Structure formats: C-alpha cells, structure tokens
Structure 1
C-alpha cells in the first residue's frame, strides 16, 4: 500500500494552510490490568499502515513560506509515537520508536507522544484551519482548547490562530470509499479467507453440536490462514436464534431439523470480509425452509444485478424488497396488492434491515450513502455487501406455524467495476448457494 500517496491525495483535497490530526487510539482496560486486544483506528491505518497505540499523525499543508524556496504549497507528515523503552518492551512488546519512524513509515519527522502538547502549538501557528474527526470530538476538544488558548497569548507577537475547526471525515471518508487496485486485491483475499472459514463451519455442523463449536471452526480456519482477528463478532445462530439480527451468545445446541445462520468475516491486512450463509443442520431443507431460502436467494440475485455503475445505491434494496414481497404474497404470508404492500413497506415485518452496506477497513465502512439528500450512484472502486434476509420468529398468531422459527440471510461482498460488478466472495473458493448445492455439499463434505 502506498500510504504516502494516500496522505498526499488527502492533503491535495484540503485548503492551503490546513493541519489535520489523526489519532491511532489508546489501549482500553477490559478488567483490572488486562487490556482489550488493540486495533488502531481505521483512518490512522489507512494513512500510515502503523498499528501501535498512543500515536498521532499530523498532516500539514502550508502556503508559500517566506523563508523557504518552496514555490508551491508544501506538504508534510509528522508522527508522534511511543518512544523506545527497554523495560516496557520487555513486558509489552517491541515499539517502532521515534528514531526509526521516519524511514520505516516514509514520514518527514517524528517525536515522542509525550511531547505532543508542547509541540502542537508550533505546527498550529499560522494555520488557517484544523481538521480532525468530529467522531473523536470529545478526545480532541480539551486539548485543542488548550493549544488555541496558548496561541492567543502570542497574537501581539504576530502569531495567528486557526479560525476554523473542520470535520476531517467529510474528506477522508470519501477518499476511503473508493478502493485502489491494491486494496481490492487485499479485499479479495479477505473474502477468500472468509469463504474458507464458512466451509470449515459447514463441515463441523451436525445435530447435537453447539453454536460455539461452529464459531470455533470458522474462526480457527481464519487464524490458520493468517487472519489476526475476526472483522466483527461472529454470529452462529441456530433455529429461532437466527431471528435475532445481532445474536452473538452462540451457546445453544443445534437441533435436528433447524437451520443455522452464520454471519462472519475474517480481517486481512486491516480489511474486512463479511459473509452470511444459512443452511440446514442435518443437511436437508424442509419444504418450508426451502421455499423461504429460495426466496431470499432470488432476492439477493436481483439485488446483485442492481449493483452497476451509474445505478442509485437504493436500487438494490428496492429490487430485493420487491422480490421478497412478491414471494411472501405467493406463500400467503402477506396479503394484499403488491403496490400497496410495497408502499407500506409491509415486508419490514420480516425483512427489517437494509440490503447492504459499504465494506472496507471497517465492516460497516465509511462513506456517504446520500449526496444532497439524494441516493448516490454506484461508481467503480466501491465495495458493498448484498444481504437480504427473512426472519419469522415463533409466536406470531397470524402466521402459519410451518413458517415460524426460521431466520435466513444470504450475504456476499460485491465490487463495483467499470462494466458491472465482481462478487469477491465467489473466487477460487466459493460457498454452495442453491438448495441443491448445499444439500449435495453437506452430504459429501461433512466431517
């Protein structure tokens, strides 16, 4: 990844006289003296590739400086990071350190993070505007107030003070939305590792096993492939648990005759895979399960077909919602005229979430879905998940019992290309998706 070019591209989008601040994040205590596993902030990773905590990247775009030979705005990247500390490194692991950071990370200069408050007013001197993520406003507001107050005491010496504080997200997150060829290749690998994990889970699935054992199989495969962590908490939801959208307890025993819904993805070089897969625990769909599964699969295919450059983002949800509504009418789960049911969004009782989301360094990746109040159009380089579902919990008095207790979601990761789309989760490795493929696979490949 060319992190220096990313920084350069970002600075070119900012006005001259801008300073941008990006924090890697801090380690968080889980209980007493045990920390949660640390993962650096995605914006920080995107611009540096550096993953240590307690680091701050400072990007500076100055105007022509009177005491230099620069004829164009001058761009600089500075880093504040943890200094080398042999005692701390003995306990907690190696640090890059201040001295090695410029060469290793291709930045202009580095200082100890302990010096940030002392040096910050210097790089804010003569800056016109400061950019940082308003999502981290609480983190920056106190420090920024102190720095600006210090600068205000020096105005009679000719020091100027920034007059504008701006949200960096509006610029940086738009940049992150469009994936480079290098990012796309990494995301293909994240998708393939995720597929391998789902196949391992299918092999381990049988009546009497527990959801956590299926979770273990999928995450074990991720780690075998070199993935350092899951992209999000794994959902292994058997039976009616699949009707809970973000179910993560994963403690229930798998019952003969039920379906299991898996929603899991591997992280690879910071980028997320995200796949949902639903299949029968005993290897055979019942007739009601088959009808609902085929309906969701048909809805997903319609939604994927809508992922085309120039098409509005919401078209894929409209496509999947229409297919599902038609199917629910045919199955006599919904009653009424199609147009009226679509207008009332009657499908939301059983399909209550959107059909997808952006995917990248975050599983729910950054980037606006609307521009000036209008759904934006797909453009090459965007990556989106496509994941319609149906969820019919038990206990609904107006729904036939045969449909109850069934939750189904089918999800793939889709890249928008110049001429259409590419399904990243259908590479050399791919999941069986049709009823026939799944049943055949389960009969021949389970452990």
Structure 2
C-alpha cells in the first residue's frame, strides 16, 4: 500500500482561509463516466479540489468536513453486487480509514441524513448538490472557492516532493526523445515514446495532451496533431509534455534538432530564449510581481531580436509599439500543482492587463514561498501573428523582412522549467538538459 498522503494539512489550510466557524464543507468526487451509448468507461481522473482534501483517486466518493471540529468524514459508495462482479471488491471501511487521512467513513446511503443535520452546507460550484439541505449562499460559495485557491497556491513539502518526482520522470522521458529522434521518424512516434517512458516509470497519466511539433508546427502554441514526419535533419522539434503523478502535474518544454546539430540560425533563436529564461529565473523570489517577471522576458526578447536584426529601431520605441508580442505572444508561465494551469493565478479583484503580450498572462500576483510555477519564455515565427505587424505602416517599420525570412524556418522555440519559490530565490525541479552543448553531446552520444 502507498503511504497515506497527509491531506489533513490541506484541510487545515482551506479552513484557515475560510472565515467561518460553523457548518460543514461538502464535496462530491468525480464519478466514472462512459462513452455515449456504450458501457465503455472513460479514463478516470479525480476532481482536483476533492483530491486535495482527501487523497482519494477513486470514483464515487464524497467528503464532509465539519468546520468547528475539523472532523473529516469520507463517504464511500454503497457496495453493489454488479459493480463487484465487474470491478472487484472495494475496500472495507477500516481499510479506507487506514488508506486515507480521514477520521471516519460512512456509506453513501447515510449521506442525506448527515447533510440535513448540518446548520449550513458549504460547497464548490463543481459540486452538484441535490437534496433538502441548508446550502450556503452564493457569496459564501465564492468565499470557499477562494479559500481552496489560496490554500492550493502554497504547496506543502510533500506536494513539492510529488511534483519533483513527476518532473524527474518527465525529464528522463524528454532525454529519451532526444536520444531516439531521427530523420524518417515522426511526431507520433515521439508522442508514443513519451507516454511509454512516463508509464514505465510509474506515471500512467499525462498532465495535459502532449505537444510534439517539428519545424513550423512549433510556431503553433498548443499544436496537438502530432502526426507530421521528420524529414529534415536541421528542423527543430518542440516537445511540451509532462507526466502526472498522484494527480500532481509537471509541465516541461524542450527543443532539439532532428539531426542532433543546431544550425546557426536555430542556435541564435534558441540561445535568445534561453537568455530570456535565465533572466526571468534570476528575478524569481518571494515578493516579485509576476508581470514584472514577464516584462523581463519581453525586454530580453526585444534586445535579442534587435541584435539579430529581425527588429530594428530604438529599443524603447519598439517596446512601446508592442511589436515583440508578435514573436512572443503568451505569458511567462503559470501556477502548477493538481492542475497544469493551477488555480489562484488571479487573486480576488486583480484584473488582466489589456495589452498585447500581457493579456494572456495566466497569473498576476506577487510570488510567495511555496508557490510552484512554470517559467516558459518563447520566440515564434507564426505568419498569422506577424502578418498584421507587417501590414500596418505604424509597426512594419520595426521589422526587417530580409532578416525575418532568414530565421523564419526555426519555427518556434520555448524552454520551460518548473520551479518552487523560496524567500530569496527558487529551486528548479526540472532536470532535463537545456544548454545547446548538453543537448548536442547527448544526441551525438546516442547515435555513436
């Protein structure tokens, strides 16, 4: 049996953020679903908030948390003869108490009575409640959602350790792809190999659908066709993939050449993105504003594109024009945890910045110790994004089209690591190599 996850600590964190002294919190876990008009089960994944306070990754459970006493009561599905025939005998009540960090366990046929006896029932919008209960009002429901988000934003040491393990599994899988890629293979083979390498190391699920983009496919941020052939040794492959372990995500992006050797143009764009990431990482520590970290990436990108001759003009003028957003359109990163784009990126009352390159920030808050975030700058050559800049006389003057065409075949480069914020810096959980010399040496050795 796996060690019991200390999820009672998470319950305490939620209660600390919830300004209430009576009633209960009620959550319903995810249920097993089937394909339309069939009895074939869909892959099961627990609802994240439910897992956060129970550690239960099985379908059909509920939980009731008494706010005053902090008593945690798990509600198990009633044992059904048909279910036992198909799925096997479920754990007994005593086994469930041994397995999960809860106080008591009852069966689902006692749930209504338990909720009806509660003075007030708090729940989340994701929990569909049916029954004659004294439900909390909408304002209180919103407060509970905020409490979960703020609690989940700061990871416990044991949560960080699981994310570290997920990163190790994913980093090793990324290395295998670098070692195995060759002309004549295709994106689908890389996709399959990543799934295999993750699963054989104990991570049977992915935190999100993997991205395997070769050449210009890498210029599409969430490319997921994953079926193109690898025909050109100088093409770059962008792999954005991360395994999930015990419901906790990893999210890693690496880029490498099909033939194992970066062209001068590809190396120049790659090193620019790496410079962006290193500058951002250097500024990551408790108290730093996330939009400030993003601004660093934009400024380094601008200077690098100017140095390469792709952009032209006075740096501040180019920055003010927001032309850089055509090459770096997304945010610098996001919260990571039970969801790959984890909760609490925007605290209550914080609005998005309505500006190109900034409006897609998935997070806007000051960093705090225990936050786990991704740092993932990129530079892309996507005609759809660049064309409006070239067609507008106000912005076209900042782009040197001859230099642009020289580098366009690079497609797209993104480098992404997962870090834990500390008081005076960060800890990088991602171990996959990212220096050009490391990648080329690894790929050369694998083909020797």
Using the size of structure 1 for normalisation, the TM-score is 0.86
Instruction: Tell me if structure 2 keeps the 8 A contact 1:394–1:404.
Output: no
CA separation in 1, counterparts of 2:280 and 2:153? 20
Question: 1:219 aligns to what?
Answer: 195
Establish whether residue 376 from structure 1 lines up as the match of residue 365 from structure 2. Answer: yes
Q: How many Å apart are 1:264 and its aligned residue?
A: 0.5
Deviations 1:157-201 (A, max 9, x none): xxxx75664222200111111111111222111111110000011
CA separation in 1, counterparts of 2:159 and 2:115? 32
Rg larger for: 1
Match of 1:60 among 66, 73, 79: 66
Instruction: Tell me if structure 1 keeps the 8 A contact 2:289–2:366.
Output: yes
Q: How many Å apart are 1:204 and its aligned residue?
A: 1.3
Q: Tell me the matched-pair count.
A: 411
Instruction: Tell me if structure 1 keeps the 8 A contact 2:252–2:418.
Output: yes
Question: 1:155 aligns to what?
Answer: none
Write out aligned runs for 1:186-265 (5 A): 186-256=162-232, 257-265=234-242
Question: 1:389 aligns to what?
Answer: 378
C-alpha distance 12-357 of structure 1, shift in aligned 2 (>3 A)? closer
Q: Secondary structure at the match of 1:305?
A: helix
Question: 1:67 aligns to what?
Answer: none
Q: Give 1 or 2: higher strand fraction.
A: 1
CA separation in 2, counterparts of 1:356 and 1:383? 10
Instruction: Tell me if structure 2 keeps the 8 A contact 1:57–1:80.
Output: yes
Question: 2:261 aligns to what?
Answer: 284
Instruction: Tell me if structure 1 keeps the 8 A contact 2:123–2:136.
Output: no
C-alpha distance 372-393 of structure 1, shift in aligned 2 (>3 A)? closer
Q: Secondary structure at the match of 2:205?
A: coil
Using the size of structure 2 for normalisation, the TM-score is 0.86
Establish whether residue 172 from structure 1 lines up as the match of residue 148 from structure 2. Answer: yes
Match of 2:41 among 13, 32, 35: 35
Q: Secondary structure at the match of 2:35?
A: strand
Query: More deviation in 18-27 or 163-172?
Result: 163-172
Query: More deviation in 37-46 or 364-373?
Result: 364-373
Gaps of 5+ in 2: 352-363, 391-400
Question: 2:332 aligns to what?
Answer: 355
Q: Secondary structure at the match of 1:404?
A: helix
CA separation in 1, counterparts of 2:328 and 2:211? 18
CA separation in 1, counterparts of 2:45 and 2:308? 46
C-alpha distance 28-336 of structure 1, shift in aligned 2 (>3 A)? farther
RMSD of aligned residue pairs (Cα, Å): 2.2
Question: 1:69 aligns to what?
Answer: none
Match of 1:306 among 261, 279, 283: 283
Task: Identify the structure with bigger relative contact order (alpha carbons < 8 Å, sequence gap 6+).
Answer: 2
CA separation in 1, counterparts of 2:442 and 2:204? 28
Q: How many Å apart are 1:100 and its aligned residue?
A: 4.2
Instruction: Tell me if structure 2 keeps the 8 A contact 1:266–1:274.
Output: yes
CA separation in 2, counterparts of 1:111 and 1:286? 63
Question: 2:132 aligns to what?
Answer: 147
Match of 1:336 among 304, 313, 316: 313
